[in-house]
Structure 1
Amino acid sequence: MRTVAEHASALAALVGPTPVVATPLNEALGLVLGRDLIAPVDLPPFDNSAMDGYVGRAADLPADGTFPLTLPVSHDIPAGRSDGRPLAAGTLARIMTGAPLPPGGEVIVPVERTDGGVDRVRIDGAPAPGVHVRRRGEDLTAGTVALAAGTVMGPTQIGLAAALGLATVDVRRPLRVTVLSTGSELMPPGSALEPGQIYESNSPMLAAALRAVGAQVRIEHFVADDVPALLAALEQAATGADLLLTSGGVSAGAYEVVKDALTGPGGADGAPAVDFVKVAMQPGMPQGAGRFAGVPLVTLPGNPVSSYVSFEVFLRPLVRAAMGHPDVMRPVLRVPLADAISSPAGKRQFRRGHLDTEAGTVSAWGGPGSHLLSWLAGADSMIVVDEDATSLQPGDEVEVWLLD
């Protein structure tokens, strides 16, 4: 039986980093820079005013502070003006925030220190030259690193790239994943159920979990418990995919279609064999990994809680690592238990949890059963119980993963 760490390593070896591609800036949110982003221009690109007010020459404003002083207003300089009209001696120009300083302009007088005149203005005081001036390149100079490779593109990083005039950025491409669920009993939500049928939940759940970490996801239609049908579906699914993900059909029953189709030297239909293993964990013991038509393939168990826990333990960090994220794991805390829990010997148990922020404790949320999906939906955390722990008491500290 594999340990959790051994299986995680086996999966990590299957999927390498995604390529770095030029991506439109409005599609880069949440993606990771694959190369240093070098500033192509100075930021700001020119000296400009940080205040609404008036701009004048230092020589025309008394250095000894003998105010008030009234001077003529020669012209207005709104933001965006680019004619570069010089400032005439003995005059002021009205200037707006972000507008370029005119040739000769040195002192910005905030409008609050004037009477706000249009043709002539009374100055009640003036700061020293350079105050309230945003100098060219004060934020960044052209040719310097604006954002380092490995930076996650959030709203402020996108804002900076836009301010530098960049329409695209070089980021790691999202991992392209095709999700398949197997089982003749599965029906799409919204359809009528016949006796013995259930609604398919794994594909929507896994696809949503993958999209939440930035992957591009395609869902294949449900695959019946039929080996030729599964192989045909996998052939179609492999086109353009970086990863194939199945759920169901990997346990020890008589109708385990994924296992039946992909077991054996060379695999079925010429595909490389998939390694089906037992992992020392609860839930999620039956797992599989390998390649189909050269594409990495991961097989998850079919019970919905087992499938989702397996995603959190193995797939979420794998996808984030492939896309270059610096932090691949969920936030982890050490929290005392509120109630006693038990765990099977030799297996790492992953229990749904609920944090009590006031008491600073965590409680198991529902039982350990791998079919209890409603309890999973209500959990805000996952409690991790080590393989060597079989009984934990209130107050014992446990590892807790914070879920969304």
Structure 2
Amino acid sequence: MTALVLGRPFPASPGLLVPAARVLAELTRDLAPVAVRRLPLGEAEGGVLAAALVAPSPVPPRAVALRRGYAVAAADTTGAGPYSPLPLASVPTLVGPGDVLPSGADAVLPEDAVSIAAGLVEVQESVAPGFWARRRGEDAAAGTVLREAGLALRPVDVAVAGAAGLQEALIRRPKVLVAGRGDAAGLVAALAREAGAEVRLAPKIGPGESAGYDLAIVIEAVEEQAKALPEAGGRLVAARLALWPGEDGAALVEGTCPVLLAQPRLADALGVFLGLGLPVLRQLAGAKPGLVERGPLARKVASSVGIAELVLLRRAPGGLEPLATGDPPLAAIAAAEAWLIVPPESEGFAAGETIEAERFRP
């Protein structure tokens, strides 16, 4: 049995399975993070931060009201109560949520705690400094890190950074070409976008089309992959992969662009992306690992020595419940909340053993 890669036949035998770690090392050996881009916050959303978002000054710069009421100096209300009101020298300013408090005010009294009649102003409640107010720097002190470098810029980060007075962000956004039709290609494209990439989804990849991209992922039957790729130029890294699911995939480098090939089954495409595509993409983006889910295994995970195997998991009362190891059915893919890859030297994990898995984005 042979597999065609770059238009040339390679024997597809178990002896030619190349360890995923070796493939990854070869693909990333000369791979540097992509260039940093300075973009307005709205345009930068989804990219991976090349520099932390830092509050440039105290937030808020001056005390602001949190609710509607009268702005007062808390010291002027000390000892006031319903049966022992205290007079104020003047009518306090009525403010609403977000309004800057006038000079000297550090709290907001409820409207019904202030009595104004016949020119007499009295307060009937004692409040502490900061009551119904956000004082200078309480949201964030100057220099506070709002979002660390190496993390994706989320919509909430854009909003918080804008509220803190930032207008731009420095990000990296690798360009990824996903070639293929069907659900598997669509899933890989979506996962690459979640990881901070700028993705082009195309039905096929032709000779030289990987030029200008930082990573190409081809989701197609092996024979079709061969037709889509040039016969010359390109360095084969692996004709088959010691990765399950995904062993009938392949890896090569065209020019400076890593190219991953995966069969169009959903499980195969997922295995190749999580096992190889995501680590390559993170190196290109200068990204940190994803969110970790840590806990005891509800059941044993058995794995074959010599091959890296994907494990899908979900949260359960007893910890993390394995849904499938190696070749997950569609139901397991749909139910998965986290994943890990068992290294090839391991036989798996015992029930009750504490493990770390990476979360899928909800």
Short-chain TM bin: 0.7 to 0.9
Q: Equivalent residue for 1:122? A: 122
Distance 1:277 1:119, change over 3 A: farther
Q: Equivalent residue for 1:184? A: none
Distance 1:347 1:259, change over 3 A: farther
Deviation at 1:246, TM superposition (A): 1.6
What TM-score comes out, normalization by structure 2 length? 0.72
Counterparts of 1:157 and 1:58 in 2: how far apart (Å)?
34
Q: Equivalent residue for 2:195? A: 213
**What are the superposed Cα offsets for residues 239-270 of structure 1, whole Å, 9 maximum, x if unpaired?**
542212123455xxxx47539955xxxx61xx
Counterparts of 1:29 and 1:118 in 2: how far apart (Å)?
56
Counterparts of 2:216 and 2:44 in 1: how far apart (Å)?
24
Q: Equivalent residue for 1:297? A: 259
Equivalent residues of 2:296, 2:320 under 8 A apart = no
Distance 1:210 1:373, change over 3 A: farther
User: Is 1:24 matched up with 2:6?
Assistant: no
Letter in structure 1 aligned against 2:38: A
Q: Tell me the secondary structure at the aligned position of residue 122 of structure 2.
A: strand
Q: Identity over the aligned pairs, expressed in percent?
A: 24
Equivalent residues of 1:317, 1:328 under 8 A apart = no
Deviation at 1:309, TM superposition (A): 1.0
User: Is 1:320 matched up with 2:282?
Assistant: yes
Unaligned runs of 5+ in 1: 72-89, 182-187, 189-199, 223-229
Counterparts of 2:79 and 2:296 in 1: how far apart (Å)?
64
Letter in structure 2 aligned against 1:171: I
Q: Equivalent residue for 1:337? A: 299
Counterparts of 1:362 and 1:114 in 2: how far apart (Å)?
58
Q: Equivalent residue for 2:100? A: 100
**What are the superposed Cα offsets for residues 106-139 of structure 1, whole Å, 9 maximum, x if unpaired?**
7754434224669654322444677665443444
Letter in structure 2 aligned against 1:96: V
The 10-residue stretch of structure 1 (162-171 or 44-53) with the greater mean CA deviation from structure 2: 44-53
Q: Tell me the secondary structure at the aligned position of residue 191 of structure 2.
A: helix
**What are the superposed Cα offsets for residues 195-235 of structure 1, whole Å, 9 maximum, x if unpaired?**
xxxxx44322322332333322212224xxxxxxx6xx142
Distance 1:298 1:170, change over 3 A: same
User: Is 1:243 matched up with 2:215?
Assistant: yes
Q: Equivalent residue for 1:149? A: 149
Counterparts of 2:308 and 2:352 in 1: how far apart (Å)?
16
Q: Equivalent residue for 2:177? A: 178
Equivalent residues of 2:49, 2:149 under 8 A apart = yes
Counterparts of 1:163 and 1:154 in 2: how far apart (Å)?
14
Distance 1:9 1:330, change over 3 A: farther
Q: Tell me the secondary structure at the aligned position of residue 2 of structure 1.
A: strand
Q: Using CA pairs under 8 Å that are at least 6 residues apart, name the structure with larger relative contact order, 1 or 2.
A: 2
Letter in structure 2 aligned against 1:202: A
Deviation at 1:359, TM superposition (A): 5.5
Q: Equivalent residue for 1:4? A: 20
Equivalent residues of 2:52, 2:149 under 8 A apart = yes
Counterparts of 1:364 and 1:153 in 2: how far apart (Å)?
31
Deviation at 1:178, TM superposition (A): 0.9
Deviation at 1:382, TM superposition (A): 5.3
Letter in structure 2 aligned against 1:6: R
Equivalent residues of 2:296, 2:352 under 8 A apart = no
Q: Equivalent residue for 1:194? A: none
Q: Which has the higher strand share?
A: 2
Q: Equivalent residue for 2:330? A: 374
Q: Equivalent residue for 2:8? A: none
Q: Tell me the secondary structure at the aligned position of residue 238 of structure 2.
A: strand
Equivalent residues of 2:218, 2:225 under 8 A apart = no
Q: Which has the larger radius of gyration?
A: 1
Distance 1:102 1:144, change over 3 A: same
What TM-score comes out, normalization by structure 1 length? 0.66
Counterparts of 1:283 and 1:62 in 2: how far apart (Å)?
69
Q: Tell me the secondary structure at the aligned position of residue 42 of structure 1.
A: coil
Match of 1:346 among 270, 288, 306: 306
Q: Equivalent residue for 1:45? A: 61
Distance 1:121 1:176, change over 3 A: same
Q: Tell me the secondary structure at the aligned position of residue 18 of structure 2.
A: coil
Q: Equivalent residue for 1:185? A: none
Letter in structure 1 aligned against 2:33: P
Letter in structure 2 aligned against 1:42: P
Counterparts of 2:352 and 2:306 in 1: how far apart (Å)?
19
Instruction: Count residues in correspondence.
Output: 340
Q: How does 1:275-290 map to 2 (within 5 A)?
A: 275-290=237-252
How much is the aligned-residue C-alpha RMSD, in angstroms?
A: 4.2
User: Is 1:168 matched up with 2:127?
Assistant: no
Equivalent residues of 1:57, 1:107 under 8 A apart = yes
Distance 1:386 1:214, change over 3 A: closer
Deviation at 1:286, TM superposition (A): 4.0
Letter in structure 2 aligned against 1:111: E
Distance 1:117 1:155, change over 3 A: farther
Q: Equivalent residue for 1:310? A: 272
